[in-house]
Amino acid sequence: MDNYFESPFRGVTLDKQVTNPNIVVGRYSYYSGYYHGHGFDDCARYLMPDEGVDRLIIGSFCSIGSGAAFIMAGNQGHRHDWISAFPFYWMSEVPAFAGAENGYLPAGDTVIGNDVWIGSEAVIMPGITVGDGAVIGTRALVTRDVEPYTIVGGNPAKPIRKRFDERQIGLLLEMKWWEWEDGALHGAMPLLTSGDVDGLHRYWLGLAS
With contact defined as beta carbons under 8 Å apart, do 164 and 149 qualify? yes
Predicted local confidence at residue 6, as pLDDT = 47
With contact defined as beta carbons under 8 Å apart, do 146 and 181 qualify? no
Predicted local confidence at residue 76, as pLDDT = 77
Predicted local confidence at residue 2, as pLDDT = 45
36 as an active site residue: the answer is no
Residues of the chain with CATH 2.160.10.10: 4-71+108-163
Spatial strand order in the sheet of 44-45: 44-45, 69-71, 123-124, 141-142
pTM value is: 0.88
- Which of 36, 38, 78, 201 is catalytic? The answer is 78
- From CA 204, how far away is CA 198, in angstroms rounded? 10
With contact defined as beta carbons under 8 Å apart, do 145 and 129 qualify? yes
Domain 4-71+108-163 has CATH 3.30.1330.80: no
Question: Helix (H, G, I), strand (E, B), or coil: what is residue 72?
Answer: coil
With contact defined as beta carbons under 8 Å apart, do 33 and 9 qualify? yes
User: How many other β-carbons are positioned within 10 Å of the β-carbon of residue 92?
Assistant: 11
At residue 151, what is the residue type?
A: I
Predicted local confidence at residue 11, as pLDDT = 57
Predicted local confidence at residue 202, as pLDDT = 97
User: How many other β-carbons are positioned within 10 Å of the β-carbon of residue 30?
Assistant: 20
Would you give per-residue pLDDT tens digits along the chain (209 residues)?
344 444 445 557 898 888 888 999 999 999 987 777 677 878 888 887 777 788 999 999 999 998 999 998 877 778 888 999 999 998 989 999 999 998 888 889 999 999 999 999 999 999 999 999 999 999 999 999 999 999 999 999 999 999 999 999 999 999 999 999 999 999 999 999 999 999 999 999 999 87
At residue 122, what is the residue type?
A: A
